[in-house]
Amino acid sequence: MNELENVYREIQPKVFAFFYVKLGDRVLAEDLTHDVFYAAVKGLPSFEGDSSLITWIFSIAKNRLKKYFRSKKYTAGLTEQLSTQGAPASSTPEEIYILKEGSQDLMEHINKLEPPTTREIVILRIYAELSFKEIANLIGESENFARVTFHRAKIRLKKEMRVRNE
């Protein structure tokens, strides 16, 4: 059980970040993260090791998110953007505002990325901190596809954010 606890400590913040970025709701992200790990513990005996444990857990997370979107609880759009709860305690109100605005600006641009696969790759890479190999397994494409798509999206995001800030 100690090994499982270590895996949980490593992966849980990444799964939470995945949900938080997708939904913009801290409480809901915590609930869904809990659901994912509950399902993972229940399904652990059926884990065959065809993929890494983190890829398996993120496939559960993706399926849980799809299930949530299909449910009646989901309302269109993000209800709130990234909050300042992650800001350092010594931050001034001005610094907190700048951090929040920067995060909101980035999220707005990420949410506009097309096609949806590109958006998914960027979120999994930046917020869930998955490797390109893990992302490729999750989206059913090659590792090179994930790498190239992320690189192109990153260039596009930099360009769009630079134009907007000028």
DSSP letter for 49, please: S
Tokens at 85, concatenated: 């709860």
Give alpha helix (H) positions in 44-131.
Answer: 53-70, 93-112, 116-126
Look at 79 and 89; give whichever has higher pLDDT. 89
What is the distance, to the nearest Å, from the Cα of residue 44 to the centroid of all Cα atoms in its chain?
A: 22
pLDDT digit string, tens, across residues 11-31: 899 999 888 888 888 889 999
At residue 141, the pLDDT reads 92
Q: Using alpha carbons, select from 11, 10, 32, 9 the residue that is nearest to residue 20.
A: 32
Look at 91 and 32; give whichever has higher pLDDT. 32
pLDDT-wise least confident of 13-17, 21-25, 123-127, 158-162: 158-162
d(CA 102, CA 121): 20
d(CA 56, CA 112): 28
Contact between 28 and 65 under an 8 Å Cβ cutoff? The reply is no
What are the residues whose beta carbons fall under 8 Å from the beta carbon of 149, sequence distance 6 or more?
A: 117, 118, 121
Per-domain residue ranges for the chain? 1-73, 91-166
Look at 147 and 163; give whichever has higher pLDDT. 147
At residue 1, the pLDDT reads 55
With respect to CATH, is domain 91-166 assigned 1.10.10.10? yes
For the domain made up of 1-73, give the CATH fold: Rna Polymerase Sigma Factor; Chain: A (1.10.1740)
pLDDT digit string, tens, across residues 49-58: 788 888 889 8
